[in-house]
C-alpha cells in the first residue's frame, strides 16, 4: 500500500525542499512507495487532508486540524521544545526529530569557544578592535594555556556530545560526561574517559576545566544550572551552553561571572532571545556570545533529509523508528 508523504516546508526555502526531494526520489524503494507533495501556507493546508506523514519545522493547530489521517510528524529540527504543542500531544501522534544533524557543526562551535578562552583570543580580539598592542603579560592575566591535559565535562552525551568528545580527544583532553541511558550509543568508537549518571553532575563539575551543556530543555532541566550547581565548578573553569537558554539561571550565571566564581562562559543560547540590549552579558570581558547560530551549517537539510529517508524506510517496513519523541520525558 502506498503512503502519502507531505513535505510541508513552512520555514525552509526551495533549496531545502530539494534536499528532501532528492533523498526520496533518488531511492528506488522509496520512490515507488510514497507520494511526495510540497506546499507552504494555504497550499499546504489544501494538500494535507489525506496525509499520513508530514515533514516540517512546525505544525500549527490549524494545519493539524486539517489532517485527520495524520500518524507521524517528522520534525527537521533536533530540539523539540515548542514543537510538540498541546494540540499535537493530545493526538498522541508518532513524533520524531532530526537529532544527529548538528553533531559536527555544534561540536566545532564549542571547540571554538574553548580555544578562544584557552589561548585568550577573546582578549586579543577586543584589543584589536581598540587598536591596542596588548601582550598577555601587560594584561596581567594568567596567560595563554593549552587544552592538552585539561578535562572537558559534557552534560548530556548525545550525538553532539559524542562529536565533541572525538574532537576534544584530538587535543589530548580528558573527557567525562553524564548520560541518562549509558546503553544508548551512536558512535561506538567514541568513548569518554568516565561516564556518570545525571545525579553525579556535581562530581563532573568539580573535575572539569570546561563544561558543555548539551541537554534538551524539559521541566526537569529548567534552571538545572542554578547558583548551587554553578558553585560546584572550579573557579578556573569555563561554561558553554549550546542546549537551551532556560537550562541556566541567567541571573545566577551573571553573578558567578561578575564575582569570578567561574572563569568565563561561551553562550549561544539565552533565556530570552534576542538577548536584551541591557543584559550585562554583552559587556563582560569573560563572556563570548553568539546569537543562537551554533546549529547553522550548509549541510543541515542534506543531513536532515538523509535521516528522514532512513526513518521512512523503517516506517514502510513496519520497523521501530529512530529519534522518537518520548511523551514521558518530554524530548
What one-character DSSP code corresponds to residue 211?
E
H-helix or E-strand spanning residue 247: none
* Residues annotated catalytic, as ranges: 244, 273, 292
| Cβ-contact 74, 53 below 8 angstroms | yes
* E-only strand ranges, the chain: 3-8, 34-39, 53-56, 72-75, 94-96, 151-155, 174-178, 194-196, 210-213, 238-241, 264-267, 287-289
Helix extents (H) in 233-289: 250-258
| Cβ-contact 35, 2 below 8 angstroms | yes
Residue 23 in grid coordinates: 533523498
| Cβ-contact 49, 67 below 8 angstroms | yes
Amino acid at each position: 500500500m502506498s503512503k502519502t508523504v507531505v513535505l510541508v516546508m513552512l520555514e525552509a526555502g526551495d533549496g531545502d525542499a530539494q534536499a528532501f526531494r532528492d533523498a526520496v526520489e533518488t531511492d528506488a524503494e522509496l520512490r515507488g512507495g510514497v507520494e511526495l507533495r510540497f506546499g507552504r501556507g494555504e497550499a499546504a493546508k489544501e494538500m494535507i487532508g489525506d496525509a499520513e506523514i508530514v515533514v516540517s519545522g512546525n505544525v500549527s493547530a490549524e494545519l493539524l486540524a486539517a489532517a485527520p489521517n495524520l500518524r507521524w510528524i517528522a520534525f527537521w529540527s533536533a530540539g523539540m521544545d515548542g514543537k510538540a504543542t498541546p494540540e499535537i500531544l493530545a493526538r498522541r501522534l508518532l513524533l520524531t526529530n532530526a537529532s544527529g544533524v548538528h553533531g559536527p557543526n555544534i561540536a566545532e562551535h564549542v571547540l571554538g569557544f574553548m580555544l578562544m578562552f584557552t589561548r585568550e583570543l577573546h582578549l586579543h580580539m577586543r584589543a584589536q578592535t581598540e587598536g591596542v598592542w596588548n601582550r598577555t603579560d601587560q594584561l596581567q592575566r594568567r596567560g595563554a594555556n593549552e587544552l592538552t591535559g585539561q578535562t572537558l565535562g559534557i552534560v548530556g552525551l548525545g550525538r553532539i556530545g559524542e562529536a565533541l568528545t572525538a574532537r576534544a580527544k584530538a587535543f589530548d583532553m580528558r573527557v567525562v560526561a553524564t548520560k541518562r541511558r549509558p546503553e544508548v550509543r551512536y558512535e561506538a568508537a567514541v568513548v569518554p574517559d568516565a561516564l556518570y549518571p545525571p545525579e553525579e553532575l556535581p562530581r563532573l563539575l568539580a573535575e572539569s576545566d570546561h563544561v558543555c551543556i548539551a541537554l534538551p530543555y524539559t521541566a526537569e532541566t529548567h534552571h538545572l544550572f542554578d547558583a548551587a550547581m554553578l558553585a560546584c565548578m572550579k573557579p578556573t573553569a569555563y561554561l558553554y551552553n549550546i542546549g537551551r537558554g532556560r537550562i541556566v539561571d541567567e541571573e545566577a550565571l551573571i553573578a558567578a561571572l561578575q564575582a569570578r566564581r567561574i572563569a568565563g562562559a561561551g553562550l549561544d543560547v539565552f533565556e530570552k532571545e534576542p538577548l536584551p540590549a541591557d543584559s550585562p552579558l554583552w559587556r563582560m570581558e569573560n563572556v563570548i556570545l553568539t546569537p543562537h547560530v551554533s546549529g547553522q551549517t550548509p549541510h543541515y537539510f542534506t543531513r536532515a533529509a538523509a535521516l528522514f529517508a532512513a526513518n521512512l524506510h523503517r516506517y514502510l517496513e513496519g520497523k521501530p523508528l529512530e529519534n522518537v519523541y518520548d511523551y514521558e520525558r518530554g524530548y
